[in-house]
Amino acid sequence: VARCYSLSSSPHVDDFRLEIGVKRTAGGYASNWLCDNVSVGMEMTVLTPSGKFTAKSLDVDMLFFAGGSGITPILSLVKSALVSGSGEVVLFYANLDADSIMYERQLQQIRSEFPERFTLVDWLESENGIPTSEAVEKIIRDHKGSVIFTCGPSPFMDLVERSATACGVDHSDVHRE
């Protein structure tokens, strides 16, 4: 079975360890097998990383929008930007509820390590409903000039792209996984 999983580890931080985030999916063949059979430190044969969801520079302000398990590649970029870059990093992280937040402890640690440069905006659908264009556009306007990255369900990423366009962000400054 072939499945694509994004790296959550950062080449700038994680000492050449490759880490992925896997969220169990009801009826999911690969996610359930991974959750039930794989543990930290196991060696696996995988294909080489591919894709273009990377930052051209880590020395710019970055605005990240993650929905659910879309946090996985975003986390890698956040860690890289904070450790090796110089810009402000803002993460808008949308989840169904508090129980569905991936990497919560790690995000809180990042928040305490980089209080001057890292802002975490949690959005819980159970409390706020589905993210709105008004909320997303406000964050984009508040962080004008930031390079935008988004990963998550397609409707969520579509919302971020539409909101960025509505705020006048150049399409080349919006990156989608």
Q: What is the pLDDT of residue 8?
A: 66
C-alpha triplet 15, 67, 23: angle, nearest 5°: 60
Asked, for residue 105, whether it belongs to a domain, the answer is: yes
- Expressed as residue numbers, the domain containing 90 is 62-176
Name the average pLDDT for the chain.
91
| Residue 6 placed within a domain | no
User: Is 15 a residue whose pLDDT tops 70?
Assistant: no
pLDDT bracket for residue 9 (50, 70, 90):
low
Q: How many distinct structural domains can be found in the chain? A: 1
Please state the rounded mean pLDDT for residues 97-124: 97
* pLDDT, greater one: 170 or 15: 170
Q: Has residue 14 been placed in a domain?
A: no
pLDDT for 158 equals 98
pLDDT tens column, 146-171: 999 999 999 999 999 999 999 999 99
Does the residue 13 lie in any domain?
no
Query: Residue 128: its pLDDT value, please?
Result: 97
29-86 tens-digit pLDDT: 888 888 899 888 888 887 777 778 889 999 999 999 999 999 999 999 999 999 999 9
pLDDT at 6 over 70: no
Output the domain CATH number for residue 95.
3.40.50.80
Q: What is the pLDDT of residue 11?
A: 66
Classify residue 14 as left (phi > 0), alpha (psi -120 to 50) or beta: alpha
Q: What is the DSSP string of the chain?
A: ------B-S-TTTSTT---B-----TT-HHHHHHHHH--TT-----PPP------S-SSS-EEEEEEGGGHHHHHHHHHHHHHH--S-EEEEEEESSGGG-TTHHHHHHHHHH-TTTEEEEEEEHHHH-S--HHHHHHHHHHTTT-EEEEESSHHHHHHHHHHHHHTT--GGGEEE-
Rounded to an integer, the average pLDDT of 134-146 is 98
